[in-house]
Structure 1
């Protein structure tokens, strides 16, 4: 079973504004709502790839029913803990004239100890041998900063593989429990090492240091510059490919979904990166946090293959 964990889901509200200006009245040309949060986005993509998952985390307030209705509509299994506080709203402003994308993300709800204990019990019950568990995204401030380390430890004790996509303290603490794979972007990696990692060589050097800690699979996304995939045996770099960009939200999540897809389908390192880069490229051509489809990814594969090399 595939389990995706979203501890701080959000309703993503995307405002399309033709020429966004600060300090004045702006009028939208379009608006859309998408259920979001990194783990939820992974489940959405996996469903489009024909892979079922169980989405778990916390939901409450105004958006709870909307979330569950949309997950049911998409055929995504879910079992979120009901909380007293309200699930957040994240607002995305897309300036189509100037090609500027602005995210305004809320902090998230207060999670009580009882609610957290209920989640831990559910999570422990659901994890089993052979599962793939995706732990991704930020957390509400009321949760402990080592929560991902705790969840990785539980999953590993049950014989499950874990994929971690987090930043800052969450990533640093999660690394201590040696997840099977991680998916930072170059900015998150720079933050982790407290230095600017502005080229492929520096990124690979930093990932080698992570590998020395016992983590053998590292996928680093670099936006339009491409992506690097480092494994125990080989390292590959795929240059970015030019595509029309409509939204950058969810591109990293689709690459996490690609890691899951690659594990399920036993792809080698090179083809894992090809598929992941294709997922990222396909996703940025879509509006809001719309999930990419397999045929959209496949349309990118040939271009990616022309721009990948072993390093």
Structure 2
């Protein structure tokens, strides 16, 4: 039976992609193409997972005129989502592609603060979404937790997800991540800096050590990504690493989100378990690398993912 995926986050954005024949800093630049999409980590994960044929639902918070524009984009693209009305205007993020050099410039607005009322509305929507899931489905809690409101919001969602028998995946940072780790998510997927901050003050910046420590804390699967240097994964009994060749002129935005989508997709395959480190690392890394080859965050297809997986082998 196909397992479903719920993606939830409170830091949505209206993402604008601009293709520029040549980006000239300090001068007028006229794009040859402009594309607007629903963005933020929850939507990026959902976009990549949908490309990998995972049935996906999003719960996200949007507000103000930008939020209304994002709502229109969700409807246009047929995304299965419940959009909760927030008290602040949704941020915008802009990605610029210099077509001459293939270099990408990213401009991210800050995530607006949230209120206790925002949390209450998200909690209600989250609970409604949980009622539609069944044992073994996936829950991804991703993105940063803006200031204001309950600092344990994500931790509470991890606890509820586990009570419902879901496979809970967390990708966050700072206090929100530290609190979520206390509820022992099944999978934690973070980068080196996020892991080191959560494990401070005694954490090294060595990916394998960070992944091992996170696995010890949660009792589940921990994955620490290190950009072009690859990724490390650990359980309570095993450690693995994958360091594929670097992709030149890549677009990294959304790579971590695509990594999560790859994990969910491979866990849909019969017989695959969380402890299958080689398969999990290959699947996540392959999705991330497909994403890097495309300008748009979460632009992952099944054919490209399978082809990328075929060329990846664990380093250790």
Is 1:56 matched with 2:59? Answer: yes
Q: CA–CA distance in 1 between the matches of 2:87 and 2:218?
A: 39
Correspondence list, 1:149-188, <5 A: 149-188=155-194
Query: Residue 275 of structure 1 corresponds to which residue in structure 2?
Result: 283
CA separation of 1:26 and 1:228: change in aligned 2, threshold 3 A = farther
Correspondence list, 1:102-141, <5 A: 102-127=105-130, 128=133, 129-141=135-147
Q: CA–CA distance in 2 between the matches of 1:143 and 1:104?
A: 26
**Taking structure 1 as the reference length, what is the TM-score of the superposition?**
0.87
Q: CA deviation at 1:209?
A: 2.0
Query: Residue 266 of structure 2 corresponds to which residue in structure 1?
Result: 262
Query: Residue 221 of structure 1 corresponds to which residue in structure 2?
Result: 225
SS in 2 for 1:80: strand
Could you report, residue by residue, the CA deviation over 1:63-93 in whole angstroms, capped at 9, with x for unpaired residues?
Answer: 3344334334444311121234321101234
Correspondence list, 1:27-106, <5 A: 27-30=29-32, 31-95=34-98, 100-106=103-109
Is 1:11 matched with 2:17? Answer: no
**How many residues are aligned here?**
303
Gaps of 5+ in 1: none
Q: CA deviation at 1:144?
A: 2.8
Q: CA–CA distance in 2 between the matches of 1:209 and 1:47?
A: 32
SS in 2 for 1:133: strand
Conservation of the 8 A alpha-carbon contact between 1:220 and 1:228:
yes
**Taking structure 2 as the reference length, what is the TM-score of the superposition?**
0.86
CA separation of 1:210 and 1:290: change in aligned 2, threshold 3 A = closer
CA RMSD of aligned residues (A): 2.4
SS in 2 for 1:272: helix
From 236, 239, 243, give the equivalent of 2:240.
Answer: 236
Could you report, residue by residue, the CA deviation over 1:89-134 in whole angstroms, capped at 9, with x for unpaired residues?
Answer: 0123444556654433222344342332122122123225333110
Conservation of the 8 A alpha-carbon contact between 1:32 and 1:288:
no
CA separation of 1:95 and 1:139: change in aligned 2, threshold 3 A = farther
Conservation of the 8 A alpha-carbon contact between 1:182 and 1:218:
yes
Is 1:287 matched with 2:269? Answer: no
Q: CA–CA distance in 2 between the matches of 1:186 and 1:11?
A: 27
Is 1:209 matched with 2:217? Answer: no
Q: CA–CA distance in 1 between the matches of 2:182 and 2:203?
A: 23
CA separation of 1:173 and 1:65: change in aligned 2, threshold 3 A = same
Q: CA–CA distance in 1 between the matches of 2:282 and 2:221?
A: 15
SS in 1 for 2:169: strand
SS in 2 for 1:236: strand
Conservation of the 8 A alpha-carbon contact between 2:61 and 2:83:
yes
Gaps of 5+ in 2: none
From 137, 140, 149, give the equivalent of 1:143.
Answer: 149
Conservation of the 8 A alpha-carbon contact between 2:61 and 2:85:
yes
Q: CA–CA distance in 1 between the matches of 2:14 and 2:73?
A: 11
Q: CA–CA distance in 2 between the matches of 1:142 and 1:15?
A: 33
SS in 2 for 1:183: strand
